[in-house]
Structure 1
Amino acid sequence: MSSQPRRVAAQAHQAGVERLAHVSGIGSDVASPSLYIRKRGEGELVVRTAFADATIIRPAVMFGPDDAFLTIVLKLLRRLPIYPMFGRGLTRLQPAYVGDVAEATARALQGTETHAITYECGGPRVYSYKEFLRAVAHEAGLKPKLIPIPFAAWHALAWFAEMLPSPPVTRNQVELMQVDNVSSPQMPGFGELGISPYSVEEMLQEILWDH
């Protein structure tokens, strides 16, 4: 995974490109026991090695129309009167609208900052996973029963699911849901880029209308 960012950064540097943005993710960590999270951290390192002044954009979990996060959650809430949660639903999330992240990336590249800088872009509200599910269900007029499922059971389920052509859940997803996905108050983000991010509730109305 880190070889492609390395190639892009190296070729950009060799071509004399002045500004480069690498979109990573909140929580990227080269020391993580999760291979997926570790590879994202390694991707940041190799980009900065090849292009020292590259801008790193770390969005929280992103959502938008026809995405693989909010749209899927909404479909499952509609179909399942009993909804299986990851763990006890305590993992903290700060979902960011994909359009806001795109705008943040563009503004970061157009800004006056020319030295290496990392932005962490989280939405306007921090939810627990359970709160997030209840908020989505409320906007959709649904009242599902949320059932906690231990992460160990999810890992076993994902291991078997990955044998299918289109697995409904993967081990990467389970690993990500075990770690809080919230921007650090010490890091610059949407505010420093002059962006007032959209909330899940605001964008969900458009998604509900479309579907």
Structure 2
Amino acid sequence: MTEILQTPKLVTVFGGSGFVGRHVVRALAKRGYQVRVATRRPDLAGHLQPLGNVGQIQAVQANLRVRWSVDRAVQDADHVINLVGILYEGGKQRFAAVQEVGARAVAEAARAVGAGLTHGSALGADARSQSVYARTKAKGEEAVLETVPNAVIYRPSIVFGPEDQFFNRFANMARFSPVLPLIGGGTTKFQPVFVGDVAEAIARSVDAKVEGGKIYELGGPQVLTFRQCMEEMLDIIERKRLLVSVPWSIASLQGAILGMLPKPLLTSDQVTLLRTDNVVSEAAEREGRTFATIGLQPQTIATILPSYLWRYRPAGQFTRRTEA
């Protein structure tokens, strides 16, 4: 009797070509899923092909601001993942359009085809926040749960990994600048989380191993201030730099000026966001909405950072440093 092979589950990933997205695509491909990556520029998603077998990963054009492209991208999908988000506004890419209206569009499209939904948000999402980024993230969560009540929502703290725009940016700055700025004195607390751990959590939601209808807060095993993050980074790249405190007022002014650039290093909204600690809440810990509930033990920055920040050391890979 001929065995009938079951077609692998099809998963559509919006924002799959981005930093977190590429790691999610890898985790899904390893599980044998067919992956459809919905992105505004599929011609720039070629780096995803080696993550799976031939024909397993397909990039399609989609824009959250264009509803018909969203509907087309989720056709026949069994599960939908939305990882689209922006850190600053530019052109037609506005916070509300992408993170609120766009989130609802993806949720409605997933509901229409009967697909499961995993939504990527951010720790600090708050409808009452003075930050537009944080407010629209919270409104996006509300739209998702209103549309797909059993959706899984993840709020990671600052995410680090080989392609991150946090540790890489400051490590590169330390190569040329004798000082590094500490906005607001560097007292803001973070709970850095490894991108691989976030990707695994998302993949487990596709595996139906995570209870839906909840907002999970994902933070690493350490709570560090901005200053401590910089000190840890400098120790790893073996450079000594002066850490200079920048008052909130001056930082806001700098953000307003830099925010006018096409790709700003800092915006006034980001400065506002930095006024609030970015750590897992006591409520999430108490209610079991963390990594522990998902069955994952997140990795520390000391374990991961040396694996990709070595290139910022004075001698690069030829350093005499002996890792523990």
What percentage of residue pairs aligned between the two structures are identical? Answer: 33
Q: Matched residues in 1 for 2:207 and 2:269: separation? A: 33
Report Cα offsets for 1:139-180 as digits up to 9, x if no partner.
111221111111111111111112223322122322222110
Per the alignment, residue 71 of structure 1 pairs with 168
Using CA pairs under 8 Å that are at least 6 residues apart, name the structure with larger relative contact order, 1 or 2.
1
Q: Matched residues in 2 for 1:36 and 1:201: separation? A: 29
Per the alignment, residue 127 of structure 2 pairs with 30
Q: Matched residues in 2 for 1:31 and 1:109: separation? A: 31
Displacement, 1:73?
1.5
Per the alignment, residue 203 of structure 2 pairs with 106
Q: Matched residues in 2 for 1:114 and 1:92: separation? A: 28
Q: Over aligned residues, Cα RMSD in angstroms?
A: 1.5
Per the alignment, residue 221 of structure 2 pairs with 124
From 231, 237, 257, the equivalent of 1:134 is 231
Per the alignment, residue 294 of structure 2 pairs with 193
Q: Matched residues in 1 for 2:191 and 2:297: separation? A: 14
Per the alignment, residue 16 of structure 1 pairs with 114
Contact 1:62-1:98 within 8 A present in 2 as well: yes
Displacement, 1:79?
2.1
Please list every run of 5 or more consecutive structure 2 residues that lacks an aligned counterpart in the other structure: 1-97, 313-324
Report Cα offsets for 1:106-164 as digits up to 9, x if no partner.
11332445541111000110001111111111111122111111111111111111222
Q: Matched residues in 1 for 2:175 and 2:202: separation? A: 34
Q: Matched residues in 1 for 2:296 and 2:214: separation? A: 17
Displacement, 1:13?
0.7
Q: Secondary structure at the match of 1:186?
A: helix
Q: Secondary structure at the match of 1:20?
A: strand
Per the alignment, residue 55 of structure 1 pairs with 152
Contact 2:119-2:153 within 8 A present in 1 as well: yes
Letter in 1 for 2:176: R
Superposition misfits of 4+ residues, deviation over 6 angstroms: none
Displacement, 1:210?
5.2
Contact 1:136-1:201 within 8 A present in 2 as well: no
- Paired residues in the alignment total 210
Note if 1:203 corresponds to 2:300.
no
- In structure 2, do the counterparts of structure 1 residues 203 and 115 end up closer, same or farther at CA, with 3 Å as the change threshold? closer
Per the alignment, residue 184 of structure 1 pairs with 281
Per the alignment, residue 46 of structure 1 pairs with 143
Letter in 1 for 2:105: R
Letter in 2 for 1:81: P
Q: Matched residues in 1 for 2:210 and 2:222: separation? A: 27
Note if 1:149 corresponds to 2:211.
no
Per the alignment, residue 102 of structure 2 pairs with 4
Please list every run of 5 or more consecutive structure 1 residues that lacks an aligned counterpart in the other structure: none
Q: Greater shift after overlay, 53-62 or 177-186?
A: 177-186
Contact 2:121-2:155 within 8 A present in 1 as well: yes
